[in-house]
Chains A and B, each alone.
Chain A
Amino acid sequence: MSRLVRMDRTGHTTLAEWRAEDPEAVEAAVEAFRAELDRGYFAMVSTGEGHAEQVKELPVDADLVILRLPISGG
């Protein structure tokens, strides 16, 4: 089961869960994904130990997609 989670004030919130072979769940996840990107979140997937990648389309095969807010110099 793949998950789309958003890091927020509650710790994190699971916005969608899907299996690649379930088109309805994938469609719902894609909609949730786009809505969060429109709100200014960046979507990240881990690509191996110590590596991550920003994605602009929902990677349906990824186990975990994490939404993060922008960072800036303090």
Chain B
Amino acid sequence: MEGAAGVLPETAAVHWRPRADARRLRRRGNLWTLTTVAHVVPFVAAGVVLFLVQPLAVAVSLASFAHAWVIPELYAARGANVVRPRARAGAAAEHTALGLLGDLVGHEARAVHAGTGLVPERGRLGVWLVGEAGALLVCGRRVHCFCVRVDDPNLPSADRIAHLLLALRADEEGFATVANLSFSGARWRLRRRMPRSMRPAMAAAVALDRV
């Protein structure tokens, strides 16, 4: 099937999905927040009610509060997983791939990638942080975490990023349509779950988002 000009051809594989745009992303983000609230509130309420009814059951109340805290953290950890580093190819292949990726991005993005493994890229929907098997979209205080990858796990890390970057640049909304949303929530919550070495990339994205 031939796609429309400028549309990522991979969107044909997920033809049932509505094409992502800023309004749809906001709505999906709000749904994530609503879902989180729906998980947290019953546990908090149960903990409070239990304590009021039977103070001796304080251990059960505390367990209920712990559930309320852990569930959003687990969701955030799932989001952070999309940018965790994957297995490396051989050193020579990684070096060659890094050269090509370096040609595709500017000096600042190269520096962020060298330090964190993520490439910042400004788009119309927000600022992206592109990793090897996923991308984060920073929109103000909210981050959307997308799981998306090239269909060859043996490619060097920088090549995997370059694949995603080129697809993103060709059709940002198509890219967000093809990718699977694994988390959407507060920036601070996700940042805590990111590997420490990657956290400066979030700061770079926020700075870029404010420009």
Contacts and interface: CB of A to CB of B under 8 A. Distances in A.
| Chains A and B come from one and the same complex | yes
A66 interface: yes
Interface string B5-20: 0101110011000000
Contact of B166 (A9, A68, A72, A74): A68
A52 B93 contact: no
Given A7-B155, A11-B97, A42-B9, A74 B92 contact: no
A38 interface: no
Contact of B92 (A5, A11, A70, A73): A11
Nearest to A64: B103
Contacts of A74: 82, 133-134, 147-149, 179-180
B10 A70 contact: yes
B156 A51 contact: no
A73 B104 contact: no
Contact of A72 (B97, B162, B178): B178
A50 B159 CA distance: 17
Contact of A54 (B148, B158, B170, B175): B170
A52 B94 CA distance: 23
Interface in B141-168: 146-152, 154-156, 158-159, 162-164, 166-167
Interface string A45-63: 0100111111000000000
B27 interface: no
Nearest to B92: A11
B166 A66 contact: yes
A71 B10 contact: yes
B35 to A, nearest CB: 19
B169 interface: yes
Given A7-B100, A11-B99, A42-B9, A71 B170 contact: no
A68 B6 contact: no
Contacts of A54: 6, 8-9, 170
24 contacts: A7-B97, A11-B92, A11-B96, A11-B100, A11-B158, A12-B100, A42-B9, A44-B170, A50-B122, A51-B170, A53-B170, A54-B8, A64-B103, A68-B162, A70-B9, A70-B150, A71-B164, A71-B175, A72-B178, A73-B147, A73-B180, A74-B133, A74-B147, A74-B180
Given A11-B95, A53-B170, 9 more contacts: A9-B93, A11-B98, A11-B100, A49-B106, A54-B9, A64-B103, A70-B9, A72-B151, A74-B133
Interface of B: 6, 8-10, 13-14, 82, 89, 92-100, 103-104, 106, 121-123, 133-134, 146-152, 154-156, 158-159, 162-164, 166-167, 169-170, 175, 178-180
